[in-house]
């Protein structure tokens, strides 16, 4: 039987790779490989051999050119040693094969800087949205309530009834679009998967601190029209077990943390559609 295979890219300032790989295994993937970007550029590892790509949080290249911008340039223009293939061609082939990509925090920033999201009209290399400095002017490390859009095509949030509770930790998490027309198209296509909300997952949060960064329309997560490619600022890999909840000693909680459903859904999708 074919194994379900996830890959987590690390290097140049990422972190959370261990947590992301652990979440993939808990979610049901048979294999979760942590690969340094240099291993992919050298040709030692190919994205073609995997079903689920994870782009993790961190501080790529120290955010010196803005969050994830240097890595975006590296992935778009980098060439794989030996083959002469552009690395970005592996990404577009991965997407074309119907596989899954999840970008978390710095990984989400990378996806939008590459142009991978929102992926209108099958164009995954044109940037039309961004993530920029929080309105509060400082790094935020707090837990947030996120209401789900039940009409979203996202593979990852299937089965979530109201919302999930996850931590954020970022300085550049404010979601913006290049034009009002882009925002309208995102809303019309239900591509805004998660929004910062109140504790009942009712009202969208537009003000600090429930909305920790000032994102337009409270958008915390975005997917492409296929629902197979998604980025979010909150960290699902940081809440896969109840002991990671900030009040786990004071509340009765289910064993699985709220973030684990994203990885379970990914593994189930791969089993049903890709192997």
For residue 197, what is the domain's CATH number?
A: 3.40.50.880
Find the domain containing 201 and state its range. 5-273
List the catalytic residue out of 17, 19, 172, 237.
237
Identify the pLDDT of residue 55. Answer: 96
Identify the pLDDT of residue 74. Answer: 80
List the catalytic residue out of 24, 105, 172, 223.
105
CA distance 95 to 83: 20
- Give the Cα-Cα-Cα angle 265, 216, 109 (nearest 5 degrees): 55
Work out how many domains the chain is built from and give that number. 1
Identify the pLDDT of residue 66. Answer: 63
Considering only CA atoms, which of 107, 49, 150, 100 is closest in space to residue 236?
107
Q: Are strands 100-104 and 163-170 parallel, antiparallel or unpaired?
A: unpaired
Q: At what angle do helices 260-273 and 17-27 cross, to 10 degrees?
A: 60
Beta-carbon contacts of residue 150 (< 8 Å; ≥ 6 apart): none
Q: Are strands 129-132 and 52-55 parallel, antiparallel or unpaired?
A: unpaired
Q: Chunked in runs of 10, what are the mean pLDDT values of the chain (275 residues)?
A: 92 90 98 96 96 89 66 84 90 96 95 96 96 96 98 98 97 97 98 98 97 98 98 98 98 97 98 94
- Compute CA distances 188 → 124, 134, 137, 178, 191, whole Å: 19, 26, 31, 16, 8
The predicted model scores a pTM of 0.96
Neighbour-count burial of 230, counting CB atoms closer than 10 A to its CB (0-12 exposed, 13-18 middle, 19+ buried): buried
237 is catalytic: yes
Identify the pLDDT of residue 154. Answer: 98
51 is catalytic: no
- Give the Cα-Cα-Cα angle 75, 105, 9 (nearest 5 degrees): 40
């Amino acid at each position: 039987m074919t194994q379900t295979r996830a890959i987590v890219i690390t290097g140049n300032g990422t972190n959370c790779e261990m947590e992301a790989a652990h979440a993939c295994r808990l979610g049901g993937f048979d294999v979760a490989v942590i690969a340094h970007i240099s291993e992919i550029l050298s040709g030692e590892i190919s994205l073609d051999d995997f079903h689920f790509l994870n782009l993790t949080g961190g501080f790529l290249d120290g955010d010196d050119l803005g969050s994830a911008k240097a890595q975006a340039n590296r992935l778009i223009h980098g060439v794989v040693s030996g083959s002469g293939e552009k690395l970005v061609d592996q990404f577009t082939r991965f997407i074309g094969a119907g596989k899954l990509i999840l970008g978390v925090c710095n990984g989400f920033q990378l996806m939008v800087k590459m142009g991978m999201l929102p992926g209108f009209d099958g164009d995954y290399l044109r940037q039309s949205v961004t993530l920029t400095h929080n309105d509060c002017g400082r790094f935020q490390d707090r837990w947030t309530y996120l209401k789900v859009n039940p009409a979203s095509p996202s593979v990852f949030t299937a089965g979530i009834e109201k919302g999930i509770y996850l931590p954020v930790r970022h300085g550049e998490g404010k979601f913006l679009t290049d034009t009002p027309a882009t925002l309208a198209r995102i809303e019309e296509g239900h591509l805004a998967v998660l929004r910062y909300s109140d504790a009942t997952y009712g009202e969208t949060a537009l003000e600090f601190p429930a909305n920790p960064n000032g994102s337009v329309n409270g958008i915390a997560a975005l997917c492409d029209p296929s629902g197979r490619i998604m980025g979010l600022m909150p960290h699902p890999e940081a809440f896969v077990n109840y002991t990671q909840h900030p009040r786990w000693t004071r509340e009765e909680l289910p064993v699985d943390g709220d973030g684990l459903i994203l990885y379970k859904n990914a593994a189930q999708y791969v089993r049903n559609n890709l192997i």
